[in-house]
Chain A
């Protein structure tokens, strides 16, 4: 458990810091996975699209981390959060850290995550914090594009060839167990929701399920069981084995030469 969620009396500052870092971690880690496609995409147009989306996520994360360290007020730099935290201190959802898999897996994850982000950003557009809200409004435009991009590919792959149908169906089946915790709420969320500083993800779960189900059905895919076993624990720093490897790669250069100016 993180120090912020463990403390008995959560302060607004601690809770907001924790919340911003969680949002940022999701986007940084998913952006990292997408960036792995650069130069290896199925067509040049998708190399561009996936790099573009990766860049959006990493840019959103950069803004969120920057605001987080400002809220924290201890003079840390956003890069301190990126390069000098260990895996247990990362709070990203497990769905974001899974290896990129084939293009079908990447698209299935993109669709599930960007449809979730779509509803999340809709609610966050009303937070009572001008700087946070300004950031969300700016990012929301890009989130809408991410949803459109991934939804179109779900349709193409689902209703394309026999092979593509099977691949994307397998991808959804494999990834399904990771979607449950997208809607978990803990004391950080609840504390901030009372102050209109966070979104209640549970409140849009049924809209999200409808959007996902409708899209999968339109793509001639089976909708896996929403009530199946779901993994949890990401927000407490419990990850898959994949995150450690991802961070080892991402952080090694910066940690090897911590005294250098790398800006």
Chain B
């Protein structure tokens, strides 16, 4: 009875547009959903360092090398920031990282695709960060305070990431024949996986309705995907790139682009761990974790000794 009462008043607060803070009462399910979402988001930032990190040492100019390094560094910062925000819900960073390394937690499937050429770095900035911005701009209005504040901060950096990506896309599309071929090939490979980033259709998305009810999300997967498509088709056309979708058609009445169906078999396959890079991404994270074990232990032991000697001195 009291539980139901609590939930009602929680829902009233949500409906009034109030922000929920860490110490506020919240239904268990709200807490769990947010831990799941926020830790997945944090993992995505950290795993997302790998495909782009793959090109840092080969960047074709110092300017691009510095931009890329700084972008990947930002992603590490976002991961850290999101892990901290998740901790406000009582889930420790170690706990959620262990879930990732044990293969129990998910992260954005887009990072299970390989970066095969330098143009992929440009296209990731343009499309993948472009998709992330659409999603995160919505989450910046999420009902959970620490998450929404993290998103506001992260969105600022993401818009720089997208800008540098699109700038590079435009230059390559306007470059030598080899550059043009390289950038079109990257668009062809990344377009569909990027559309998949928004998740299943609304009717197949078990969490969506609940997250919308709780004000965590304010738009459905399909709505977000549509706004991504509208925006990015315009940008592709502006630089003369083709979108690999035969069914693409502009609907004058709705003012939206209609597009083909995602290959949902591929989508679920990658989600289930059978994408081109799933195993390697987790292996890289596990190796970093295992190779770093002695370093973390040393830091702990040193801190313990320092504390002890300070206590002795006082």
Contacts and interface: CB of A to CB of B under 8 A. Distances in A.
Given A156-B299, A257-B179, A44 B79 contact: yes
B173 to A, nearest CB: 11
Contact of B65 (A58, A157, A164, A259): A58
A252 interface: yes
Contacts of B79: 44
A40 B76 contact: no
A38 B294 CA distance: 18
B296 A253 contact: no
A156 B305 CA distance: 10
Given A42-B291, A54-B69, A48 B62 contact: no
Contacts of B83: 44
A199 interface: no
Interface in B49-90: 49-50, 53, 56-66, 69-70, 72-73, 76-77, 79-80, 83
A38 B302 contact: no
A58 B212 CA distance: 45
A47 B302 contact: no
Interface string A156-174: 1101110110010000000
A43 B79 CA distance: 11
B171 A261 contact: yes
Interface residues of A, number: 49
B76 A51 contact: yes
A58 B291 contact: no
A263 B61 contact: yes
Contacts of A46: 292, 295
B175 interface: yes
A82 B70 CA distance: 19
Contacts of A261: 171, 175, 179
B57 A254 contact: no
A62 B76 contact: no
Interface residues of B, number: 46
Contacts of B77: 48
B284 interface: yes
A38 B56 CA distance: 9
B297 interface: yes
Given A40-B288, A44-B80, A48-B80, A157 B60 contact: no
A75 interface: no
A98 B68 CA distance: 23
Nearest to A47: B76
Interface string B280-294: 000010011001111
B118 to A, nearest CB: 6
Interface of B: 46, 49-50, 53, 56-66, 69-70, 72-73, 76-77, 79-80, 83, 118, 171-172, 175-176, 178-179, 284, 287-288, 291-299, 301-302, 305
